[in-house]
Amino acid sequence: MHMEPIVHPRWLLARMYEPDLVIVDCRYDMSVPSAGRAAYDRDHIPGAVYADLERDLSGPLAAHGGRQPLPDPQTFADTISRLGIDHETRVVAYDDQGGALAARFWWLMRYHGHTQTYILDGGYSYWRSLGYPVSDAHPPVIVPKRFEVRIREEMLADRQEVYERLYASNTVLLDSREAKRFLGVEEPMDHTAGHIPGAVHAYWRESLDDAGLWKSPEEQRERFAAAGIDPDQEIIVYCGSGVTACANVLALERAGFRKVRLYAGSWSDWISYKDRPIAKGE
């Protein structure tokens, strides 16, 4: 049975102790890398396991590939296996950063062939605001499972493919960063400001409403239409390092866009090449 990728806390509350469900805490602070694990140790949804952005959801840094390169597939599979997850396991991921880190986990799981990964609407803060249970217990005893790699290549675009599609009429590049970074006015994370030429802009946080909950598919379609995105085009989504772009990938797919790919290295990979063109302003 097909399910929406976003689940309400009530759905999780009713199922959180079912044996075929694993809850994954993805909280992470890029300015204080240890803060996510520390937050998990203070309190978390009962039974949740922890996945760290740098250690578990990214690969080692190299000359190219961006600030949070994709992990090696077998290394990722080993990590997921240790968390007690296989392809029959239902998984719910959450964070406290608007869903961007959970969306990274969701995208990685789908890219590696898992079809039953969901994101908790509103994240941990919303869960707590509803008065739902939290725990400071140590991580549960995990029985490892065998997670097999089933890569879906059609979900990914690399730098060369992006370069070859600049200004192509059948392809749109979607920049998911804040407007000031897209415009090249300010760049707090990377050594070069600007955007990929021809890209359109839709800040990933606009996927959420004022309460921090995911907008409906209809509302997502409206915001992407306002950005000039045609559902018939191929859409390649990027951000600074390939993390927050996953939130826009999820929003696009919920809105019914089917030709959506992630440029995983994103801007930080693009500017690592000397021959890359750069645009600023609108």
**Nearest 5°: phi and psi at 131?**
80, 20
For residues 107 and 118, the answer to whether their CB atoms sit within 8 Å is no
Nearest to 89 by CA among 79, 81, 101, 97: 81
* Max intra-chain CA distance, the chain: 54
Catalytic choice (229, 239, 262, 271): 239
Nearest to 36 by CA among 49, 23, 47, 46: 49
246 catalytic per annotation: no
**Nearest 5°: phi and psi at 221?**
-60, -40
- Give the 3-state secondary structure of residue 147: coil
Q: What is the DSSP letter of 47?
A: T
**Per-residue H/E/C for 209-255:** CCCCCECCHHHHHHHHHHCCCCCCCEEEEECCCCCCHHHHHHHHHHC
Task: Give the contacts of 123 (CB within 8 A, at least 6 positions apart).
Answer: 94, 95, 96, 97, 98, 99, 102, 212
Identity (one letter) of the amino acid at 222?
E
Active site amino acids: 239
